[in-house]
């Protein structure tokens, strides 16, 4: 409505601009404005139907490949295999819809946060209306306990404080006032004459004129950013899509090549060669991969849930494992989101609060709990967090401050105001002794002090005393502590004309209190573990620069002596940088202070442009757009708003930053296990393809599609899934993050797949050649039947032996343990029984066109499997010697 910010305009000017006044709007004006501006609601993007979400699951390239495989299996008459493959596809789709069905709740939860009712001036009187009925120009009355129903410019503010941490990240309530602010480009947290939608009034009262409603509010602007934020593909999704494309091209090329070669040789019919090409395609498709990925991720979510990390989207499990940057909100995530007394200065000495010897008869104790508006409510305290922390300090030490408050009733007071920065109370004892207690800013209180309490005695204050007090105040402030000074004075009566001039004079200085929103005790260790894992934690907060810097140093995010990559920057300074300049300098900054929601998104984008995988943590409404933009958004389950949780991929049930490090370890393990399964599956498939391809070229009798499908079904399913249950390798959190550029083939896996697949194929062909060259039976038909059966047994069993190789990419399987994964042991045994049954069970072997083998033939087959383990172990030893781990 105006180019000039509301906080820079006089109240009368705003009334004129909005055509309103202290008497409020009339019903006609309200109706006209509602027609013009709409309701005070947050709009939401149209949600996809359940059917549309289900259909979207089939757009994945790998799923399309699987459907093709099912059609191929059906075309060969293997309906059971086709049904199994389709069942895998459907299960994957259902699981995806189930996991992601709540992704659109972020905007809805923003709507639910709106204040239900508001007290408004209408038609010259006061009425209570639903908050969604407010319009620009309405005059709203606010008092302690109210939720601000719209963005408003305050007209009056009487000792009013508003808690805005969910919007600004400010850890303590903000003192509000009605005077004009002349500075330009003030961040939200410094606009002390504004009250924003969904903020909470903690103390005092005031009135305001509504200047923005619905999507025009600051919360609405965040909702719009959240709605417009693009969904980021996880590294896992990108890897699977890339893999699916490569496999499709490879499968088609091989199938066409074999078909053409077979037709050129002229020894087979077109139907036979078509079936051969189909067999090759079936052999090349790892139809179990999506199911294995889904199961591995699902099992990872279960393990993480037990460790308080709740996963909303399956790929987020693996994404954590590739995280390079953890961009963390400070308030409520790295800190406890509650003020705590940390230092006590009394009798000329500064003492850590935990070590201070205090009793409720000490003047400083009486001043802290009596000059205080905190109120008990059952087992909790209500009021300004700073004041409740002063009482809680003594509750935690079993000093019964509530009894002291009850026995010293307040008989008069001078409320705090932002100009004099002091608060005074007069409290009376049971024997009618009256004492005045004063608290406030040290520099302001010292102006009114003439004496000082010193070890039980009262004496005149000296210049040395004042210098010591101010020096201590400075030292505490540089540590980002909020400092309060306390004084008292025995009085005979409350002055008849109670003013600051009449009462706040000739005071006796007691001491100082240093307070802070402290870091969570477990976070420093978690930061150290993250850094050891090559992950860089950075802090993003709405708090002031000095506060942010002090907490970051205490947590180890910043070093005490800043380096080139250890700087602090404010949102205002960030605004002076272009996106290009910021992208070049982003590595310099470890802490961001006084930031707005759009800054958080810029920070995430800047790191992503560096090729980094970014995890963003947060608990407030202001964090939601960045949570959605990041590669993985991490919400807080206890203190987090529904908006932040709805925009997150993962929610921490215990709000514990260290849980993120646990989740990173689990994510790395999940990726490593999927990589092991992929190496196992693709090397097996290459072995199958090579076997069929060479058999076709040499004119040998080839394995039938049903035999290939059975090998795939038995060996691809159980062992591959069991590999997903492998325990984490000991050094997994000492490795550097994989980053965005890595994929499943990184770290030597591509070469491993190649040589191991060739090895499987060569050994299968060798066994076939031995069976033909040294036959057991004289008849040609039986000789070829035995050779095919031995090739079938070798191709299947060699894959089961190779599953042991795949338990670790580079380490010796004898070092990680052959049998420590019980699920894997049972999987191998089950697969062996199912494979052997097709050979040794009468009738069953007829279905698969196989013949029973004698002891010598089984010994040859088993020797090939053992040789597979030994050869791969030798290659791994060479790789380790060459430093290729």
The CA distance from 634 to 647, in Å, is 9
CA separation for the pair 190, 320 (Å, rounded)? 35
Residue bearing tokens 């941490």: 165
- Scanning 806-854, the segments in alpha helix (DSSP H) are 813-816, 822-840, 844-847
Let me know how long the chain is. Answer: 885
Q: Is the dihedral of CA 846, 849, 853, 859 positive or negative?
A: negative
Residues classed as catalytic? 329
Map 740-783 to HEC letters.
CCCCCCCCCHHHHHHHHHHHHHHHHHHHHHHHHHCCCCCCHHHH
Nearest to 792 by CA among 847, 833, 851: 851
Q: Are strands 375-377 and 380-382 parallel, antiparallel or unpaired?
A: antiparallel
Which residues on neighbouring strands pair with residue 536, listed in sequence order?
325
**4 vs 163: CA distance, rounded Å:** 25
Scanning the structure block, which residue is given the tokens 């410094």? 190
Burial class (CB in 10 A: 0-12, 13-18, 19+), 781: exposed
* Measured distance CA(423)–CA(414) in Å, rounded: 6
Residue 212's SS3 state is strand
> Are 759 and 805 contacting, i.e. CB atoms less than 8 angstroms apart?
no
* Interior angle at CA 518, CA 517 and CA 519, nearest 5: 125
Q: Which two tokens stand for residue 655?
A: 């709000």
Distance CA 615, CA 557 (A): 16
Rounded CA separation 229/643 (Å): 14
Q: Closest by alpha carbon to 65, among 234, 235, 233, 255?
A: 255
Q: Is 449 helix (H, G, I), strand (E, B) or coil?
A: strand
């Amino acid at each position: 409505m105006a180019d000039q910010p509301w906080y820079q305009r006089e109240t009368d000017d705003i009334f004129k601009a909005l055509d309103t006044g202290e008497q409020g709007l009339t019903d006609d004006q309200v109706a006209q404005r509602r027609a013009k501006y709409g309701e005070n609601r947050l709009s939401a993007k149209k949600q996809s139907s359940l059917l549309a979400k289900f259909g979207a699951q089939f757009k994945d390239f790998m799923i399309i490949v699987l459907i093709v495989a099912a059609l191929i299996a059906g075309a060969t008459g293997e309906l059971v295999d086709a049904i199994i493959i389709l069942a895998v596809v459907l299960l994957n789709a259902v699981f995806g819809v189930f996991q992601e069905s709540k992704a659109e709740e972020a905007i809805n939860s923003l709507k639910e946060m709106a204040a239900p009712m508001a007290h408004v001036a209408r038609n010259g009187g006061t009425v209570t209306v639903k908050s969604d009925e407010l319009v620009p120009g309405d005059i709203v009355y606010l008092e302690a306990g109210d939720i601000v129903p719209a963005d408003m410019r305050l007209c009056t503010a009487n000792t009013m404080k508003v808690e805005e941490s969910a919007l600004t990240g400010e850890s303590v309530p903000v003192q509000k006032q009605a005077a004009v602010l002349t500075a330009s480009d003030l961040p939200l947290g410094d606009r002390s004459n504004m009250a924003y939608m969904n903020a909470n009034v903690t103390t005092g009262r005031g009135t305001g004129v509504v200047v923005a409603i619905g999507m025009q509010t600051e919360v609405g602007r965040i909702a719009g950013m959240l709605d417009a934020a693009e969904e980021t593909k996880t590294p896992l999704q990108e890897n699977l899509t890339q893999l699916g494309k490569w496999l499709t091209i490879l499968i088609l090329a091989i199938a066409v090549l074999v078909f053409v070669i077979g037709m050129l040789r002229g020894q087979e019919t077109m139907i036979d060669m078509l079936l051969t090409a189909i067999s090759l395609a079936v052999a090349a498709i790892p139809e179990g991969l999506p199911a294995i990925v889904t199961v591995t991720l699902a099992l990872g979510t279960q393990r993480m849930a037990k460790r308080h990390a709740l996963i909303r989207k399956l790929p987020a499990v693996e994404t954590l494992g590739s995280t390079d940057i953890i961009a963390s909100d400070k308030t409520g995530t790295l800190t406890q989101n509650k003020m705590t007394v940390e230092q006590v200065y009394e009798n000329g000495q500064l003492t850590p609060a935990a070590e201070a010897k205090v009793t409720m008869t000490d003047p400083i104790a009486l001043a802290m709990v009596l000059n205080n508006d905190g109120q008990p409510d059952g087992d909790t305290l209500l009021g300004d967090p700073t004041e409740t922390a002063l009482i809680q300090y003594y509750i935690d030490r079993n000093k019964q401050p509530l009894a002291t408050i009850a026995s010293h009733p307040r008989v008069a007071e001078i409320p705090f105001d932002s100009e004099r920065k002091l608060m005074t109370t007069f409290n009376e004892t049971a024997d009618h002794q009256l004492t005045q207690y004063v608290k406030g800013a040290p520099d302001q209180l010292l102006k009114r002090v003439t004496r000082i309490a010193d070890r039980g005695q009262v004496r005149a204050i000296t210049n040395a005393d004042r210098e010591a007090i101010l020096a201590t105040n400075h030292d505490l402030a540089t540590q980002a502590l909020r400092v309060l000074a306390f004084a008292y004075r025995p009085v005979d009566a409350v002055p008849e004309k109670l003013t600051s001039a009449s009462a706040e004079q000739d005071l006796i200085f007691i001491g100082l209190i240093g307070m802070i929103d402290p870091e969570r005790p477990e976070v420093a260790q978690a930061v150290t573990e993250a850094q050891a894992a090559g992950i860089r934690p950075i802090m993003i907060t709405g708090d002031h620069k000095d506060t942010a810097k002090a907490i970051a140093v205490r947590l180890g995010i910043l070093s005490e002596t800043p380096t080139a990559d250890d700087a602090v920057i404010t949102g205002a300074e960030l605004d002076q940088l272009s996106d290009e300049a910021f992208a070049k300098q982003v590595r310099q900054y470890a802490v961001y202070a006084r930031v707005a929601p759009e800054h958080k998104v810029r920070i995430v984008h800047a790191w992503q442009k560096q090729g980094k995988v970014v995890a963003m943590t947060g608990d407030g409404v202001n964090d939601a757009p960045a949570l959605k933009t990041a590669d993985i958004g991490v919400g807080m389950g206890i203190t987090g708003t529904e908006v932040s949780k709805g925009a997150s991929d993962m929610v921490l049930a215990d709000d514990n930053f260290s849980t993120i490090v646990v989740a990173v370890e689990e994510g790395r393990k999940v990726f490593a296990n999927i990589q092991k399964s992929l190496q196992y599956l693709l090397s097996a498939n290459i072995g199958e393809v090579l076997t069929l391809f060479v058999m076709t070229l040499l004119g040998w009798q080839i394995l039938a599609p049903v035999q290939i499908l059975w090998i795939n079904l038995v060996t691809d399913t159980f062992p591959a899934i069991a590999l997903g249950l492998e325990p984490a390798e000991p050094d997994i959190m000492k490795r550097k993050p994989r980053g965005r550029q890595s994929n499943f083939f990184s770290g030597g896996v591509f070469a491993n797949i190649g040589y191991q697949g060739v090895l499987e194929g060569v050994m299968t062909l060798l066994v076939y050649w031995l069976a033909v060259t040294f036959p057991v039976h004289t008849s040609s038909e039986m000789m070829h039947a035995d050779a095919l059966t031995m090739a079938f047994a070798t191709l299947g069993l060699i894959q089961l032996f190779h599953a042991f190789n795949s338990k670790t990419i580079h380490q010796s399987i004898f070092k990680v343990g052959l049998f420590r994964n019980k699920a894997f042991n049972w999987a191998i045994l089950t697969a062996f029984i199912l494979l052997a049954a097709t050979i040794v069970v009468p009738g069953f072997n007829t279905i698969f066109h196989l013949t029973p083998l004698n002891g010598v033939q089984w010994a040859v087959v088993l020797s090939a499997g053992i040789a597979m383990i030994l050869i791969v172990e030798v290659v791994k030893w060479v790789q380790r010697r060459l430093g290729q781990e």
